[in-house]
Amino acid sequence: MTPPRSILLLGNTAEGALLGGYFQSRGFSPLLLGRKRAGQPFTRLEAGGKEITLEVKALPQSEIFHVQAAFATVKSFDLLGIIERHIHYLPPKIPIFCLAHSGIEKALAQFASQHPQFWWRLGTCEHHLQELIPSFFRHTAAAEVPQGQLTWGPLFSEPLALHEEGVPDPMFIHTPTGIEQEWLAQDPYFFQWHGRILEERRIQWLYELVIASLSAAMQLPTCGALFSHMEVLGQTFEEGYQLGLERWKTWPLSRDKLYEGLISQISKRASQPNLMYLDTLRQQKTENQYFAGSAGEKYPQLWALALKIAALPHGNHMGG
């Protein structure tokens, strides 16, 4: 029998480990489904002087019938596939959190509209975890730095379904559900509701487009090394900004404010090892299609970066 207050985590990733450890420490029963890394049946998380062990399961469909929420923590290329493999076993009227990079929202919205019995959420999960060996994640920031933060909001700005009377079905009202409100009340730092998450994700898409594409293509050791390439940084930002205008017609902030935000992001991550480059190798460059690889030859700087990333050597595939 599935324990009460069960949370489904789709993806044996750093985000999956962080959320699994967080929920387990607070009385929930996380169910982690994903690929076993290096054949390891468990994922371990070390943070705050404690170690948490999570069993990695393959496809225990009977165990997910009564979960209270589901999180998909895999990369964009695998997101729809992993949700589709499990969605028919999930109970209706639960929130489904999609934590992949931006760039997949249109395809996700098309898929979600075919399954209006769920609350669909977009989000990001920030953390300071590093995978030191397969299936062992450690919080590497200073002890006083929080382990992470989950920011999320509604995928759709309008209800997906109406009653026969033409009024919105209560389950499609785009405010936090009961369990989400519980989380927000219990830990207002770790859980951050953002009613306009699409705008926020588009900004983050722009920042990751610039930072990740340049860092990977130029094989920079740290994010701070970008400050030694300000001219190409500015060119890449400008093309990313124009690509966003082409897609969405508008930005929530001015060009200057967006550029200031980019510089701030790089400054915050200046001394961090460039994990995005390592991820690019390990994941066989699949995220490239959602960033520089989505630009095309119309944007020569981004296109050149995409070609460089595509030519990088392949690494071991380490998806969810």
Residues facing 9 on adjacent strands? 32, 71
Calculate the alpha carbon distances from 114 to 72, 84, 97, 106, 118 in Å.
18, 11, 16, 13, 10
- Per-residue pLDDT of 270-304, as tens digits, reads 876 665 445 544 443 566 676 776 788 889 999 88
Contact 64, 89 (CB under 8 A): yes
Instruction: Verify that 203 and 184 share a domain, yes or no.
Output: no
Predicted confidence at residue 273, as pLDDT, reads 65
Are 240 and 127 part of one and the same domain?
Answer: no
- Find the length of the chain: 320
Burial zone of 8 (CB within 10 Å; 0-12 exposed, 13-18 middle, 19+ buried): buried
Which one of 170, 195, 220 terminates a domain? 195
CB neighbours of residue 312 within 10 Å? 16
Q: Which two tokens stand for residue 302?
A: 């981004």
Are residues 218 and 134 part of one domain? no
Instruction: Assess if residue 189 is contained within a domain.
Output: yes
Rounded CA-CA distance 142/128 in Å is: 9
In a domain, residue 277? The reply is: yes
Q: Which residues contact 233 (CB under 8 A, 6 or more apart)?
A: 210, 214, 226, 227
pLDDT value at residue 279: 52
Q: Give domain status of residue 248, yes or no.
A: yes
pLDDT for 283 equals 46
Let me know whether 265 and 162 are in one domain: no
State residue 280's pLDDT score.
Answer: 43
Strand ranges (E), the chain:
6-10, 29-33, 42-47, 50-57, 69-72, 95-98, 119-127, 129-133, 136-139, 148-154, 191-193
Instruction: Judge if 120 and 248 occupy the same domain.
Output: no
* Contact (Cβ atoms closer than 8 angstroms) between residue 291 and residue 209: yes
Please indicate, yes or no, whether the overall pTM of this predicted structure exceeds 0.75.
Answer: yes
Q: How far is the CA of 305 from the CAs of 3, 76, 117, 203, 295, in angstroms?
A: 48, 19, 41, 20, 10
**Below-70 pLDDT ranges, the chain:** 1-4, 59-62, 102, 143, 157-173, 272-288, 290, 293, 314-320
In this structure, the answer to whether residues 170 and 239 fall within a common structural domain is no
How many separate domains does the chain show? 2
| Same domain membership, residue 209 and residue 190 | no
Task: Specify whether 230 is located in the same domain as 185.
Answer: no
CB contact set of 142 (below 8 Å; sequence gap of 6+) = none
Burial class (CB in 10 A: 0-12, 13-18, 19+), 246: exposed
Asked if residue 286 and residue 234 are part of one domain, the reply reads yes
Q: Which two tokens stand for residue 70?
A: 């589901």
| CATH code of 69's domain | 3.40.50.720
The angle formed by the CA atoms of residues 287, 124 and 83, to the nearest 5 degrees, is 65
- Using the 3D structure, point to which of 165, 195, 225 is the last residue of a domain: 195
Q: What is the pLDDT of residues 3-30, one digit of tens each?
A: 468 999 999 999 999 999 999 999 999 9
Domain finish residue from 161, 176, 195: 195
Whether residues 167 and 216 fall in one domain: no
Domain of 249: which CATH number?
A: 1.10.1040.10
For residues 215 and 274, the answer to whether their CB atoms sit within 8 Å is yes
Give the domain range for residue 141.
Answer: 6-195
